[in-house]
Structure formats: structure tokens, C-alpha cells
Structure 1
């Protein structure tokens, strides 16, 4: 197996997951900045590995498999650690938004796998709404990890609102995937 630059960037994202968790829970004042930086850096490498793969034709089957796995793991872990430090009514909303996001990722991954088995993987390709959802989600999580006001801006509150928007976009994009796959799902259920 040849390791391309995009695949190495994807592997770096996976390696950063335990680093993110460790840094987030360290008892120092700077850890919120460091955790937000690690997550933001990982988010940029997600964009960068795709750009390099397309620009320099560095595609690989392993990279195509690993990239969405790394993304989903990083987001799921960030959501879990952000929710883990909340209490009260705020925690309920954060947990609900996180469950929507993680649940959609699991459902869409399963849908894609099943569609691939039917030879219809292209039917459920990534749409523009999914890309917008990802950007909003990454910015929201970076804000939630940072937690502190910045230049008078309530960064954490901005992160909470963006996470709510990301959860709505998540539902929208999940329904778009289901809508795209519905004719195949319906046809397959009629043949059963």
C-alpha cells in the first residue's frame, strides 16, 4: 500500500483524536485554546487532503475509505467531550444536537454501504448541503472547544447556536440522502 500525502494527512487526523481528548481535559488555562487549535487544524487537513488528492491525482482506495472515517471519528469525539462538561438544561440540548449529528453519520454511512452493495453508491454521493453542514459543524465545534470570549464576542454562545444550525442542516442533508436513495430502496423492497 502506497501512502499518499492526502492519506498521511488523514492518518494525522486520526492520531490527533487522543491528543485532542488529552489536551481538552488537562488542568491548565491554555488547554481550551490548544484543543480548539487541534480541532481547527484537523478540520483544515480534511479540506487539504481532498484538495491535494484532486489537484495532484493522489487518490487511493485506502484514502477514500479512511477519510470519512477520520472525519466522523474526530467530530464524534469532539461532540462527546464538549457534552461531557455541561450540566443542566444546556446539557440536554447539547446532547440532543450531538445525538442528531452522530446518528445521522451512522445512518448515512450505513445507507452508503448498503447502496454500494446494490451497485448504486453514486446515488448517495455528497451534496452541497452536506458540505455546508460540515463547515458549520467544524466552526461550531471549534468555538465550543475554545469556550472563552474573544475580543468581546461570546464564542461559546456562538458555538451553541452554530451547533443547533449544524443539527438542522444534518437533518436536512440526511433527508436529502434518503430522498436520493428512496427510489432504489422502494424498488428493492418491492423485489423482496
Structure 2
């Protein structure tokens, strides 16, 4: 396996995760700003690795496998940190919905690929919108302090609840698309 730039950027996103965790727990006033900076840097690598891979035809099977894994690891760890710091039912429920959907859709995609029906579960516009709301919400919630008189936590909560709603909607879309293959009799 040869490592190309997009794959290195994806691996960098994975390396950022433990650094983000350590900084999250540092007892300094600036740690939340650094955590958000790390989260944004990880998001930029996510955008950059895909753009570079497509633009310069550097796609690889390993990169295609690793990219969504890195995304899900980053989101899962960030949501766990947020819920641990702010143990509220609304945040916990939204995080559970988002994580449950990610596990379900990952398994569905793997199964659909195994039966040759991967195209049925392509990323939808609702799924992309969910990702935007989710990532912005996580950034606000990781920061967690008022900023320029903005109620950062309230904004983050609202955005995460919207992301959870979009999460359910996108999961229904994926399941409906896959339903014919799910219910088809196999011999």
C-alpha cells in the first residue's frame, strides 16, 4: 500500500483525535479554543482529502475505507466528550441518535456492498445537511463558553437537535432505498 496525500490527511485526522481528547481535559482557560481549533483542522483535512483525491485522481481503496472511519471516530469521540462534560438528557439523546445512525448506516453500506447493491445507499443531500449541522453543533458545544454575547451552548444544543432530526430523516431515506434489497429473497 502506497500512502498518497489524501490518505495521509485522513490519517492526520485520526492522529488529531487523541490530541483533542488530551487538550479537552487540560485545566486551562484556552483549552476549549484549542479543542475547537483541532476540530476545525480535522474538518479541513476531511474536506481537503476528498477534494485532492477527486481533483488529482488519487483515490484508493484504502483511502475510501479509511475516510468514513476517521469521520465517525472524530464525531463519536467529540460527542462522548460533550455528553461527559454536559450530562443532559437532550445532548445524550441527540448523541445516541447520531451514533446509532452512524453504526446502522455503516453496517447497511457494508452489507449492501457485499450483495452488490452499494449504489442504493449513496450519500444523500439530507445526509450532507445533517453533517453540516452536526459539525457546527459539535464545534459550538466543544467551545461551550459564551462568545461575543452569543449563547454558544444554546446554539450548539439547538443545532445538535436539528442534526439529530436530520439524522433520523436521512436514515429513513437510506433504509427506504435499501428496502428492496433487504427484503429480497436470497437463495
TM exceeding 0.5: yes
Alignment of 1:45-84 (within 5 A): 45-84=45-84
Q: What is the distance in 2 between the residues matched to 1:62 and 1:136?
A: 28
Q: What is the distance in 2 between the residues matched to 1:80 and 1:161?
A: 18
The partner residue of 1:131 within 120, 128, 131 is 128
Deviation of 1:41 after TM superposition, in Å, equals 1.2
Deviation digits for residues 42-98 of structure 1, max 9, x if unmatched? Answer: 1121111111111111101100000000000000000000000124xxx11111100
Tell me the residue number matched to 1:14.
Answer: 14
The partner residue of 2:108 within 93, 107, 111 is 111
Q: What is the distance in 1 between the residues matched to 2:8 and 2:119?
A: 26
Q: Which runs of 5+ in 1 are unaligned?
A: none
User: Could you say what the CA RMSD is over the residues aligned between the two structures, in angstroms?
Assistant: 1.0
Q: What is the distance in 2 between the residues matched to 1:162 and 1:155?
A: 11
Tell me the residue number matched to 1:26.
Answer: 26
How does the TM-score come out when normalised to structure 1?
A: 0.95
Tell me the residue number matched to 1:158.
Answer: 155
Q: What is the distance in 2 between the residues matched to 1:115 and 1:54?
A: 23
Q: What is the distance in 2 between the residues matched to 1:124 and 1:173?
A: 10
Deviation of 1:187 after TM superposition, in Å, equals 1.1
Deviation digits for residues 88-146 of structure 1, max 9, x if unmatched? Answer: xxx11111100000000000000011111101111111111111111111100000001
1:101 maps to 2:101: no
Give runs of ≥4 in structure 1 deviating > 6 Å.
none
Length, aligned pairs only: 187
The partner residue of 1:146 within 143, 149, 153 is 143
Deviation of 1:7 after TM superposition, in Å, equals 0.6
Which moved further from structure 2: 129-138 or 76-85? 129-138
Deviation digits for residues 9-41 of structure 1, max 9, x if unmatched? Answer: 100000011001000000000011111111111
Which moved further from structure 2: 152-161 or 136-145? 152-161
Q: What is the distance in 1 between the residues matched to 2:153 and 2:36?
A: 11
Q: Which runs of 5+ in 2 are unaligned?
A: none
Q: What is the distance in 1 between the residues matched to 2:72 and 2:166?
A: 16
Deviation digits for residues 147-191 of structure 1, max 9, x if unmatched? Answer: 111211111211110000000011011111001100111113xx4
